[in-house]
Structure 1
Amino acid sequence: MSKVTQHEATGLDDLDPATAPARDAVHFRRIVAARQQVSDAEDGLREAVQAAREAGDSWTIIGAAMDTTRQAAHERFGRAR
């Protein structure tokens, strides 16, 4: 089974410029940038949680910092990723 590329998954390669009118891509670019920011923030959060655990912080403290329960924090970050 072959790996699906990002363009294949989005259907961008199937767009025909003759039938799909060109539009300003400002909103598309904002969405792409926002998705990257979310990904970067998730990476930062994962690193912060790992550092907190290595420093000896409990799941209760981490959960409180995330405004969630210790169980939810552990379920999200407690497994090796």
Structure 2
Amino acid sequence: MSKVKCQSIVLYHIYQLQLLSRFQQNIYRIIKMHLDLVINISLPGIQTKQEMIASQLLSALLHQFLMAKAN
């Protein structure tokens, strides 16, 4: 997965997470900041797996928000 594709995935999730509370947005920013550091210093062969982790974590945050909203 290229860095451009990873960035577009992150931007997509940012768009979806715009309705989150400030607290949840701050948690998201902290997670994203650390994941960006991990991806940027990773070896090229490991990068794809770490980008998938970033996407999965963002999806988990969105899922948590939607479940809380449904309740």
Verify same fold: TM over 0.5. Answer: no
- TM-score of the superposed pair, with normalisation by structure 1: 0.32
- TM-score of the superposed pair, with normalisation by structure 2: 0.36
Larger radius of gyration: 1
